[in-house]
Amino acid sequence: MTSLFDQFEQPSSKPRNNNLTTAEMSTLGYINMTLEQDVPIFSKTKKDFTPSDKITHVAISNKQLAVAMANNMLFRMNPHNPQQHDEISLTKYTTTCRLTNLFMDPTGNHLLLTNKP
């Protein structure tokens, strides 16, 4: 019995030929065709960010990052422009309750904080 890795390597190591026979199509179960070069969706880059305390919640949308920390601080920044950032104290809102989640709208303009007593 072949391993899953071997089963993956065999079809992916074949040269990309769009002229597959009917027998190959029925055994593989799919046709691997691409029209253009695959471009990665995400890229990993380093940012100069050192949080002041333990991170509890994170929300990101449309080039806006919001980070809630254990010391009741909310850190907001644009990852493409790290020099522009804000730190907001949440202590007057979280004296009788604790932060449970962050929700950011798709435009990145509005952040909804949910609290629990």
- The pTM assigned to this predicted structure is 0.61
| CB 66, CB 78: distance < 8 Å | no
Average pLDDT of span 9-20: 56
pLDDT in tens, 15-70: 555 555 665 555 666 666 777 788 888 888 887 778 889 999 999 999 899 999 99
pLDDT range class, residue 13, cuts 50, 70, 90: low
Q: How many CA atoms lie within 13 A of 80 on its CB side?
A: 5
Cβ-contact 95, 81 below 8 angstroms: no
8-17, 32-41, 92-101 — which is least confidently predicted?
8-17
